[in-house]
Amino acid sequence: MEYPGNLFVVAAPSGAGKSSLVKALLELDSKLNVSISHTSRAPRGQEQHGREYWFTTVDEFRTMAARDEFFEWAEVHGNLYGTSRAAIEARMAHGEDVVLEIDFQGALQIKQLFPYAVLIFILPPSWEELEQRLTRRGDTDPAVIAQRMSNARLEVAQAQNFDFVVVNAVFDTAVFDLKSIVHAQRLKYAAQRRNRSAVFRALELP
């Protein structure tokens, strides 16, 4: 499948800083749109239906999956998560740039469907720092942290299947790295289409 516009997929082990980085990237780049996923997990804290996620029951999720309403879906940490066609298809058809913040299983499914998608994997600077970030964020139940740390080892092994790896040590440096990848991809896309005005738009030149 091919649409005009760029598709970026960001994955990371839980606690590496993916949500914070994507949020910062979106604030810097008004041309990027983030996809809102569906999930069967319960809302946490201040989360709102339609803002962080579309919250569904397991049955609703499975019905959508059976109707082929997802581009990809996966089970992560015991819950179901998916990118619905409705969430991104219209935007992609209009040539907008879309970011998916999903797990590695979903990222690999997206690469199969859209080979031009740019897959970015966020790494924490160390295992110790990952554990500290998970603890600081308030996932205080040691069993939950232990489960996420053991999943993290499996997830990090998938980094080799991604196009880029960004290490989130100093936050602003990692945001800059992400911004550079987005910028470079826009230039590459414009150059491939031999479209001078698209190159200028990507460079933000008059």
193 binds, among ligand GDP, ligand ADP, none (CB under 5 to 8 A by kind): none
182 binds, among ligand GDP, ligand ADP, none (CB under 5 to 8 A by kind): none
Six-digit token string for 148: 């996420």
Task: Give the C-alpha separation, 188 to 88, whole Å.
Answer: 22
Q: How far is the CB of 178 from ligand ADP (least distance, A)?
A: 12
Is the CB of residue 36 less than 8 Å from the CB of residue 87?
Answer: yes
The number of residues that bind ligand ADP (CB under 6 A) is 13
Show contacts with ligand ADP in window 117-146 (CB under 6 A): 133, 136-137
Is the CB of residue 118 less than 8 Å from the CB of residue 26?
Answer: no
171 lines the binding site for ligand ADP (CB under 6 A): yes
15 lines the binding site for ligand ADP (CB under 6 A): yes
Task: Give the C-alpha separation, 127 to 201, whole Å.
Answer: 40
Six-digit token string for 66: 């059976």
Task: Classify 50 as helix, strand or coil.
Answer: coil
Residue 118's nearest CA partner among 78, 156, 163, 153 is 163
Complex with ligand GDP: residue 115 or 206, whichever CB lies closer? 115
190 is in an annotated binding site: no
Would you say the C-alpha torsion 153, 157, 163, 165 has a positive or negative sign? positive
* CA distance readout (Å), 65 to 39, 111, 137, 167: 12, 19, 32, 34
Show contacts with ligand GDP in window 16-35 (CB under 6 A): 19
5 is in an annotated binding site: no
19 lines the binding site for ligand ADP (CB under 6 A): yes
106 lines the binding site for ligand ADP (CB under 6 A): no
Q: Which residues contribute to the site for ligand GDP (CB under 6 A)? A: 14, 19, 37, 41, 72, 74, 76-77, 81-83, 101-103, 105-106
Q: Which residues contribute to the site for ligand ADP (CB under 6 A)? A: 12, 14-20, 133, 136-137, 168, 171
